Amino acid sequence: SKPIVAIVGRPNVGKSTLFNVLAGDTISIVKDTPGVTRDRIYADVTWLNMTFTLIDTGGIEPDSKDIILSQMREQAEIAIETADVIIFITDVRQGLVDSDAKVADMLRRSKKPVVLIVNKVDSFDKFMPDVYEFYNLGIGDPIPVSAASRLGLGDMLDIVTSHF
Ligand code: GDP
Ligand code: MG
C-alpha cells in the first residue's frame, strides 16, 4: 500500500496551505474516527513516479498556548503511529518557539523519519539567515520553503520520498 506522510506543526505555520498546494484538487475530508476529536484530511500526492497519502493533522486550530501544545502533542502522536514519514513545519517569521522544541523532542524519540520544513521563506535573500536557527531543534537540516509562493517544494518532495 501507499506510504503515508503526515504534516505536523503549530497553528498558522502553513500546514493547510502546504497540504492544498501538494494535493491540488484531490482533497477528501474523512469523518472522525472514535477517540479522535477532529477531522483529518487526506489526499493522494504523486511526485515523479511515487504516490503517497498525505495527511493534514491540523483540524481545528486553538489559540490558547496550553491547548496548542496539547493538540500538537496529539498530532505528533497520530503522525508517529500512522505515518511512514513526518513533515514537521515551522515558520521562519515567528522563529523557533518552545512548543516547536517540545514536539521535535517527541518526533526525535519516535525514530520515524522527520523532514524539518521552515515555511514562509518567500525570499531566500531575506530569510535564509533565520533558517539556520532551526538546526537547534536537533532533528536534521531545516529545508526552506514557501508554500504560498511554491518555492522549495521539489527539493522537499525529493527528501520526503527518499525515505520510502
Ligand atoms: P495552518 O494553521 O498551519 O494550517 O496554516 P495555514 O495554511 O492556514 O496558513 C496560516 C497563514 O499563513 C495564512 O494566512 C497563510 O496564507 C499564511 N501562509 C502560509 N504559507 C505561507 C508562505 O509560504 N508565506 C507566507 N508569507 N505566508 C504563508
Ligand atoms: Mg490548517
> What is the pLDDT at residue 6?
93
C-alpha cell, 77? 502522536
ipTM score assigned to the predicted complex: 0.99
The pLDDT assigned to 147 comes to 94
In angstroms and rounded to an integer, the radius of gyration of the C-alpha atoms of the chain is 15
> 44: annotated binding-site residue?
no
Range of the domain at 129: 4-161
The domain that holds 107 is classified in CATH as 3.40.50.300
Query: Which pTM was predicted?
Result: 0.90
Task: Identify the segments of the chain with pLDDT beneath 50.
Answer: 26-39
User: What local confidence, expressed as pLDDT, does residue 61 receive?
Assistant: 63
Instruction: Please report which ligand is nearest the Cα atom of 39.
Output: 2
Apex CA 114: angle with CA 157 and CA 85, to 5°? 65
Give how many domains the chain has, as a whole number. 1
Q: From the CB of 148, is ligand 1 less than 6 Å away?
A: yes
